[in-house]
Structure 1
Amino acid sequence: MKIELDQKKALVTGGASGIGREIALGLAEAGADVAVHYGSNQKGAEEVKEIITNMGRQCIIVQADMLKTEEIDNLFDKVGAEFDGTLDILVNNAGNMVERSSVEEMKEELWRQVIDLNLTSAFLVSQRAVPMMKGNGGRIINMTSLAAQNGGGPGAAAYAASKGGLMTFTKGLAKELAPNVTVNNVSPGFIGETAFHDTFTSDEARKNIVAGLPLKREGTPGDVLGTVFYLVSDYGSFVTGETIEVNGGALMR
């Protein structure tokens, strides 16, 4: 099965590393021109751009703080100018847990930061992408998390809540944008090759997580890419408002 995305225009937020990087490179390899958003990892974004450009595809990298509406507006000004005002694929991948904190000890500032980074930013980015997609048969992919289903690990209640909200937002947006645009969630479980787990998951926790998985291995960004390919291709054209779990059997529904 070959995915053909020739002439498609895509935006991947948080595309400089990890899952976002894999998705950006995969979409380009399938033929899409890709705009790569990054927050602070300029070096990573430049590396992604170089690889995509060497594939013969168009690539733009744009820095934006997802907590600042004016910077999201600037992001879309640049993407719109580069892609002649059209967009076919949006992957809302940017997000972070920021830090672990119990609800009892959590400061309100941290709660709002986590919610805004993972949920509000996806709303703002999607809102600005929709006018560029209408009539194009556009595809929006929101990157949620296994934490949305199970509440996450210790100190991750705010993160889990933000991803749960994103999951529900996706359903509402899918109804609003049908039949022209599909909107779906991809929900990764333990994807080992990411800065997220390098930061928040100890070696002992990694071993325990893998031992408890039916498939007995860490997931990879490529595992997530395969699901994204399905949803943005013609093979996924009759799927909208859905959440696809990519978790090695950690959660079966």
Structure 2
Amino acid sequence: FGKSHVYRRKFFDINKIDTQLFFGEDSLFIVSIKNESLSWPDLPIYRIYGMKKCDGYLYGLTWGKRELYSFSDLLKTRYGSIDKFREIYLNDVRDNLSLMGDEYNGIALYPNDKRGMQSFLEKDYVIYERYNPADTVGVLNRFVSLVSTYTLLKEKQKDLLEDKIMERVRYNHTMNIVKKEVKDYIPSEIILYGADITVLLSSVLTESQYKVVYSALQSCNSYRRDAIFGLHLFRSPKNIWDDGDYATSYEDMLKETANNLLNHV
């Protein structure tokens, strides 16, 4: 560790790691149970170490009091319970595998879920907007319907949300405001017709409704991207060794996916 610039004194100090432990013990190794090995010195990473001892292995926490535990006791100490560790670990694996689709190496958590991806995109408001941008009522209905699946909208809430969204879209168009694109990864904004409607949601929904809906819409944004790469209905190559122009924007992928998918509905 001492030979790498990432692991200089500042790294250990910021992460509150006992350096004497690292450089004074034999057979000591880092344990990375989940992806905590980001190369950012200001993040609390490398929290668990292992040590060969007493013809077996014991484990400790880098910021602890040098107490050593069996692996199961370490998990209880680090995460509170083995059930909580199992939940965190499986969610981490699921999230990472779901991103490893055709774009990278053909590995996917649900390799046979093409039908689910297709069903999602066929109903998706962003895909429909790219396919038929003139049908503003259809796009709006799809979006509000999606919001309604996550929280019970009262009639007045629904009407007010629709009015505010259309008002914002018209204002952006009238003022010639540059449209925002739906980004590749999970965005911090919810975009409809190039307008950020995140604030509109919070102005109409209660705080508890907004938290649920905002989180769910971000998950939809993430799944949309995964589904687009999973179905691969756009023309750009799957990797840099394929023929064709690899520099296809996500916006182009949205449009091509929409046309190729909804033309056959």
TM-score calculated relative to the size of structure 2: 0.25
Larger radius of gyration: 2
Q: Which structure would you say has the larger RCO, counting Cα contacts within 8 Å and 6 or more residues apart?
A: 1
Of Structure 1 and Structure 2, the greater helix share is in 2
Of Structure 1 and Structure 2, the greater strand share is in 1
TM-score calculated relative to the size of structure 1: 0.26
